[in-house]
Amino acid sequence: MTLASMARKYEARKAPDRKVATSAMIASLAAEGYETVAAPFGHALVEQARGDDRIVGLSADLSKYTDLHIFAQAMPEKFYQMGMAEQLLMSAAAGIAREGFIPFATTYAVFASRRAYDFIAMAIAEENLPVKIVCALPGLTTGYGPSHQATEDLAIFRGLPNLVVIDPCDACDVAGMVPEMVAHNGPVYARLLRGKVPTVLTRHKPDYKFQLGRAQMIREGRDVLVVSSGIMTMRALDAAEQLAAENVDVAVLHVPTIKPLDKATILSEAAKGGRLVVTAENHTENGGLGEAVARELMLAGTHVPFRMIALPDAFLEAGALPTLHDMYGLSVARVVAQIKSWL
């Protein structure tokens, strides 16, 4: 929260002169020109569950907003509505996992990372149970302010032993991560893009397929290497196309698995000399992808020009998503401007 927003918090409110639309606060993240897929997580989970009786779904009164309603409608006998009780959600998921099932527990990322953390740590991660925690509204993907903006969830969960952490970019990643999560014999935390999710990666790399623990080069480039995760891979690819018109050649390395990090691929690409290395993430600058990559570069003795695109260490404003993304440096225009300023 900025000083200006803190001051406004205590100003007297007056009725607006006109009706104020709020739809932009929860607008689709789809960029122009990208096709979208409706509820890729829900449909992928149904497909997996048809061939695996161990899969069940649980929600903390948010099935419609985590696309788990698709699963609930298709397989009501495998769906559990736990109500607005995230600690209970995680504890129940742990108990179900102990009975041999693979529970997918869904809620908002803020509620899992802040409200239910100790239950995830003690009941799930310490016991290394195959609970899959899938959470919507990661980072700055809602305009509803700090109560719903999970800007620090990766930092929180990266420090938890046994837990795999995923930050998907698009519908391809979301659908592709589901079978890999099922196959992984342990707990997983995955950020979730829900609703109408853009299809990005296969447009730039037709043979792209999500692989747990693997980073993949989506676009080659000689001047800049952007190491990105989540929706910032989409932003980086769009920025790279704009910068190409100005003779700036940008490579984009997509890192959908934050933990375990694909150190070998990141170090190999960073070692290809002469390029500015930039990390881009929809997360606070503290404890996320940027710091993880910087750590590996330093430990390996790989000395390259390095910059980070990330959210500030602050509680963020509420408002329309396009405005907020531009304000905090996540828009394509801001990514382009920042990279140009560093060259």
- Helix/strand/coil (H/E/C) assignment for every residue in 288-324: CHHHHHHHHHHHHCCCCCEEEEEECCCCCCCCCHHHH
Q: What is the DSSP string of 74-90?
A: H-GGGEEE--S-HHHHH
pLDDT in tens, 130-147: 999 999 999 999 999 999
pLDDT in tens, 213-254: 999 999 999 999 999 999 999 999 999 999 999 999 999 999
Domain shared by 191 and 253, yes or no: no
CATH of the domain at 244: 3.40.50.920
Mean pLDDT calculated for residue range 162-176? 98
Residue 342: pLDDT above 80?
yes
In a domain, 271, yes or no: yes
Domain shared by 185 and 247, yes or no: no
Which residues partner with 135 through β-bridges? Answer: 107, 191
Q: What does DSSP assign to residue 143?
A: S
Residue 12: pLDDT above 70?
no
Domain shared by 252 and 153, yes or no: no
Mean pLDDT calculated for residue range 178-200? 97
Query: Which two tokens mark 309?
Result: 């695109």
pTM, two decimal places: 0.93
- Give the range of the structural domain holding residue 80, as residue numbers without chain letter: 30-198
Domain shared by 34 and 174, yes or no: yes
Determine contact, residues 155/189, Cβ cutoff 8 Å: no
Cα–Cα dist 340/248, whole Å = 9
Our count of domains for the chain comes to 2
In a domain, 290, yes or no: yes
In a domain, 3, yes or no: no
Domain shared by 189 and 41, yes or no: yes
Catalytic residue of the set 77, 86, 180, 269: 86
In a domain, 332, yes or no: yes
Cα–Cα dist 81/93, whole Å = 12
Please say which residue of 166, 198, 230 terminates a domain: 198
What pLDDT is attached to residue 273?
80
**Could you tell me which residues come within 8 angstroms of residue 316 by beta carbon, excluding any fewer than 6 positions away?**
1, 140, 145, 146, 149, 151, 324, 328
Quick one: pLDDT band at residue 6, thresholds 50, 70, 90? low
CATH of the domain at 161: 3.40.50.970
With pLDDT > 70 as the criterion, what percentage of the chain qualifies?
91
Domain shared by 42 and 180, yes or no: yes
Residue 317: pLDDT above 80?
yes
Domain shared by 220 and 280, yes or no: yes
Please say which residue of 198, 233, 252 terminates a domain: 198
Mean pLDDT for the chain overall: 93
Domain shared by 124 and 267, yes or no: no
Residue 161: pLDDT above 70?
yes
Please say which residue of 176, 198, 220 terminates a domain: 198
In a domain, 167, yes or no: yes
Domain shared by 285 and 167, yes or no: no
State yes or no: is 86 an active-site residue.
yes
In a domain, 4, yes or no: no
